[in-house]
Amino acid sequence: MTTPLNLTAISAPLQQLQTLEADLCARLLERDEAVRAALVAVIARQHIVLIGAPGTAKSMLVELLAERVTDTSSSSQAFVWLLTRFTTPDELFGPISVAGLKKDEYRRITTNKLPEAFFAFLDEIFKANSTVLNALLSLLNEHVFDNGTAQIRVPFNCGGGDA
């Protein structure tokens, strides 16, 4: 037997979502489909890739959405990075811990980096080099980051964009 859906419990969050969608659509003209897709990705805790011509508000959409779904006063931070062929894993995942190396441990200091972000925006993701793209595979697909001997669950939603 199934439990009946409690509509009063979801009416307030649904109203907030509709308000957010209306606000984003008002600020980003003719981007209703992209706004809806981005909101669905956030709700489903999945990734979105926005592909289009330069100057079509792809980055702006993701940045506006990140402002509204993250709380800067708490640990739910956003990580935004423009990827190039020169981007290094240290820039995304944090530097290697020197103290860890002294103990024969290879681990990264992930403070304020991608593995700790609640919301991530990797701009121009297709321009990244193969080292960075390979390092991102398990992080994006399985939401885990191997940091030395520890495997960290990554809490984020991730959007990527490319022109």
Residues 13 and 19: their CA atoms lie apart, in Å, by 10
Q: Would you kindly state where each structural domain of the chain is located, as residue ranges?
A: 9-162
User: What's the CATH code, domain 9-162?
Assistant: 3.40.50.300
Residues 55-92 have pLDDT tens digits of 999 999 998 998 888 766 555 578 889 999 999 999 99
Read off the pLDDT of residues 33-51 as tens digits, 9 standing for 90 and up.
999 999 999 888 888 999 9
Kindly report the backbone phi and psi dihedral angles of residue 30, in degrees, each rounded to the nearest multiple of 5, phi listed first: 60, 30
Q: pLDDT (tens digit, 9 = 90+) per residue, 111-121?
A: 989 998 888 88
Distances (CA, A) of 125 to 37, 71, 82, 90, 156: 18, 25, 8, 16, 16
Whether the model clears a pTM of 0.85, i.e. scores above it, the answer is: no
Give one word for 139, left, alpha or beta, with left for phi > 0 and alpha for psi -120 to 50. Answer: alpha
Identify the residue whose tokens are 């002294």: 102
pLDDT on residue 128? 95
